[in-house]
Amino acid sequence: NAGVTQTPKFQVLKTGQSMTLQCAQDMNHNSMYWYRQDPGMGLRLIYYSASEGTTDKGEVPNGYNVSRLNKREFSLRLESAAPSQTSVYFCASSGYQPQHFGDGTRLSIL
Amino acid sequence: GQQVMQIPQYQHVQEGEDFTTYCNSSTTLSNIQWYKQRPGGHPVFLIQLVKSGEVKKQKRLTFQFGEAKKNSSLHITATQTTDVGTYFCAVPSNAGGTSYGKLTFGQGTILTVHP
């Protein structure tokens, strides 16, 4: 039982490059979330999806796009990476229970 | 949206000392959750508080929800090195929101335990 799986675990990009962070959950949860975590800032919500087919902006959506591909998968895309997007990214999911988090993606943008 | 302040930002203790972190909101909360994140790890749910004045215990951890449901605390008795990590409170992002939707997290308290 994997829970929430994120890929990749580490990534280094150059400014201006694009990439997609993948997230999949096997708990049949309706809701999925993308957070970024920066020192001293806690966890800030980027985007979330309350159910399959719906997405909505969170606190810090600028520079990101998301796709809820199906009930299991929720991807986060950086179209043109900037150094300010260097962070640890967490995906989470929830149903009628608290949020379960993936192991995170550590992303550095040079 | 909802905002929550968590203090202190850092706490260094000697092993065996007690530790407390606090979360405060300017509005009444429907519930509050607590999460722990070990160094290099991901947040893991600890507990949820719903009722005014509620107190819940997990071994050496005591969680309390204020009478006015605007604040909460997590107290660890006799810390151990295994308690090291960041402790977050989290509240529903929308006033009156459910426990299982969008959350707003506090900034977290980083606990260091010196053996």
The segments of chain B whose pLDDT lies below 50 read: none
What are the structure tokens assigned to B6, written together?
Answer: 């968590």
Which amino acid would we find at residue A71? K
Distance of CA B115 to the CA centre of its chain: 23
Q: Which residues of chain A fall short of a pLDDT of 50?
A: none
Question: Which among B33, B45, B105 is the nearest to A43, CB-wise?
Answer: B105
Residues 6+ apart with CB under 8 A from B69: B28, B29, B30, B52
Nearest CA in chain B to A6: B42
Q: Are residues B44 and A101, on separate chains, in Cβ contact within 8 Å?
A: yes
Q: Mark yes or no for CB contact A90/B9 under 8 Å.
A: no
Q: Specify the pLDDT at position B100.
A: 66
- Among A10, A27, A38, A43, pick the best mutation site for testing chain B contact (most B Cβ within 10 A): A43
Report chain A residues whose CB lies below 8 A from the CB of B56.
none
* pLDDT digits 0-9 by tens, B81-101: 999 999 999 999 876 555 568
Q: DSSP label at A63?
A: T
Residue A20 has a pLDDT of 98
| Identity at B70, one-letter amino acid code | K
